[in-house]
Structure 1
Amino acid sequence: MNSEELVANTAQHVERLFAGEGSGHDWWHIRRVWQNALLIARQEKVDTTVVQLGALLHDIADWKFHHGDEEAGPRVAREWLLSQSAPEPLIENVCQIIREVTFKGAGVDTTPSTPEAKVVQDADRLDAIGAIGIGRAFAYGGHKGREMYHPGQEPQLHASFEEYKKNQAPTLNHFYEKLFLLKDRFNTATGQQLAQERHAYMQQFVHQFLSEWHGEEVPPAAFRLSDPS
C-alpha cells in the first residue's frame, strides 16, 4: 500500500468513526485540522504523509473521552496503522504527534519534538480559536453539562497536566485558561499569522458576552480583558 492509499483509507476510517459526534471533536473538526496541516506544511520542510496521518488520527482516542488515559490515542492509532501494514518508523512518528499535540495546562511546556508534530499542533490549535473555536468550546461544555459562565468561579492557570485534566470549570473560563494563551504558542510562521485574526475575534466575542451578561455592572477582575492585543 502506498502513502496516498494509506492516507485515503485512514480518512475514510476516521470519518466513519466520528460522523455525527456532538462535542466539537467530530469528523469535520478532524478534516479541518487535516486541511490546515496541509496548508502549513507547504511552508515547512516536513514529511507530508506523517503530517496527514498525525492530523487525521490526533483525536482517534482523546484522553478527555477515555478516563484521562494519555496513551489511549497512540495505542488505538498504532492498532489501525498496523492493520494497514504501515512501517514501524512511520507508526512511531504518528504516535509521537498524538502524544505531543494536546494542550496540557497554562504552566506546561508542550513544544513538540518534531517538525511534523509542530505543524499538526498548530493546525489543531487553529481550530480551537476564532469563530469555530468559540462554537467548539460551548459544544464541549454543553456535552459535559457545564455552565456557560459563573462570575464566582475564577479561571485557573493550571501548573500541571493532572490539574488541567481535573478541571470542571464553566466554559467561559476555558478562554482564559487555554484559548487566549494559544496565540503566543504557535510553532510556525504560518500558524502564527493565521492565529492573529482568530484571537482578536475571540476577544471581541468575550467582551460582548460579558457586556450582555453584566449590563452596566463591571465584570469580576479575573474576567476583564485588559489587553485586547
Structure 2
Amino acid sequence: MDAERFVKKHLDKEGSGHDWLHIERVRKLALKLVEETEADAFIVELAALFHDLSDRKLADDKRMSRLEVEDMLIALSVSENDRSQIMHIIDTISFRGTGRTVPETIEGKIVQDADRLDAMGAIGIARTFVYAGSRGTPIYDPGEQTKGDSAIQHFYDKLLKLKGLMNTEAGKMKAEERHRFMELYLDTFYKECER
C-alpha cells in the first residue's frame, strides 16, 4: 500500500513516540477492533495510518499541515466521501485537554480507541518517557509542592483517564488490563523513590 510506505518513510525514527511503530500498532489494534463491528476497514486503516501526520506533538520537520495530509489522500485516489470521513477522524480523535471529543462514526471511535490504547499499559509508559525526554521534561520531582510538568504527572493529566473514555466494548475490555498495569507501575515507582 502506497500510504503505508509513505507514512513509514515519513515517520521512521521520529523521536517523540509518535513514530512509525506507534502508527503500525494503532493500525493493527484498530483493524482488530473492526472485526467485532460493521465498520469500514478501509476508512479505519487509512485514518489510523494518517492520524498523527499533522499532530502538534511531532517535530516541526515531521509535522505536515492538514492540507498536506488531505493532498496525500487525493494523490492516493481516495474518493471525496472517504477523504472527508478520514479527515474528520483525524480532526476529532486527539485527547487535547479533557479528552471528551468523540468522533461521530464507528470508524472514528475505533481509531480513537486504538490510539488511546497505545497510550496505555507498558507501551504507553515507554512512550510517555520517550516523549518527555524529547521535550526535556523531567521524569519526576518529589520536591514539587504543586503539580509540575513531569512524565509522572502525565499519568494523572491523561493516561489514567483513558480507561473511562473508551468508545467500544472491545476497547473498554483491553483498557482495563492496561490501566491496572499503569496503576501497579506507579505504586512501584513511588515505593522505589522512597527507598
Quickly name the TM-score band, shorter chain normalised.
Answer: over 0.9
Q: Who is 1:135 aligned against?
A: 126
Unaligned runs of 5+ in 2: none
Unaligned runs of 5+ in 1: 1-7, 156-167, 216-229
Checking the alignment, whether the CA contact within 8 Å between 2:95 and 2:101 is kept in structure 1 is yes
1:124 correspondence with 2:115: yes
For residues 134 and 73 of structure 1, the distance between their equivalents in structure 2, rounded to whole angstroms, comes to 28
2:78 counterpart (86, 89, 100) = 86
What amino acid sits opposite 1:44 in the alignment? T
Q: Who is 2:95 aligned against?
A: 103
Corresponding residue SS for 2:153: helix
Checking the alignment, whether the CA contact within 8 Å between 1:22 and 1:143 is kept in structure 2 is yes
- Write out aligned runs for 1:40-189 (5 A): 40-65=33-58, 74-106=66-98, 109-151=100-142, 152=144, 154-155=146-147, 169-189=149-169
1:200 counterpart (180, 183, 186) = 180
Q: Who is 2:16 aligned against?
A: 23
For residues 184 and 16 of structure 2, the distance between their equivalents in structure 1, rounded to whole angstroms, comes to 24
Checking the alignment, whether the CA contact within 8 Å between 1:146 and 1:169 is kept in structure 2 is yes
For residues 6 and 177 of structure 2, the distance between their equivalents in structure 1, rounded to whole angstroms, comes to 33
For residues 30 and 105 of structure 1, the distance between their equivalents in structure 2, rounded to whole angstroms, comes to 22
1:70-113 CA-partner distances (Å, limit 9, x unpaired): xx55323201011122211111111011111100223x521211
For residues 49 and 32 of structure 2, the distance between their equivalents in structure 1, rounded to whole angstroms, comes to 14
1:7-43 CA-partner distances (Å, limit 9, x unpaired): x111111001111122111100000000000000111
**Greater CA radius of gyration, 1 or 2?**
1
1:11 correspondence with 2:17: no
Structure 1 residues 201 and 66: alpha-carbon distance in aligned structure 2, compared to 1, 3 A threshold = same
Q: Report the count of equivalent residues.
A: 192
For residues 137 and 191 of structure 1, the distance between their equivalents in structure 2, rounded to whole angstroms, comes to 20
TM-score, normalising length from structure 2?
0.93
- Quote the sequence identity (%): 39
Checking the alignment, whether the CA contact within 8 Å between 1:73 and 1:98 is kept in structure 2 is no
1:32 correspondence with 2:32: no
Q: For structure 1, which segment, 14-23 or 28-37, has the greater mean C-alpha deviation from structure 2 after superposition?
A: 14-23
Structure 1 residues 22 and 153: alpha-carbon distance in aligned structure 2, compared to 1, 3 A threshold = farther
What amino acid sits opposite 1:143 in the alignment? S
Structure 1 runs of 4+ aligned residues shifted over 6 Å read none
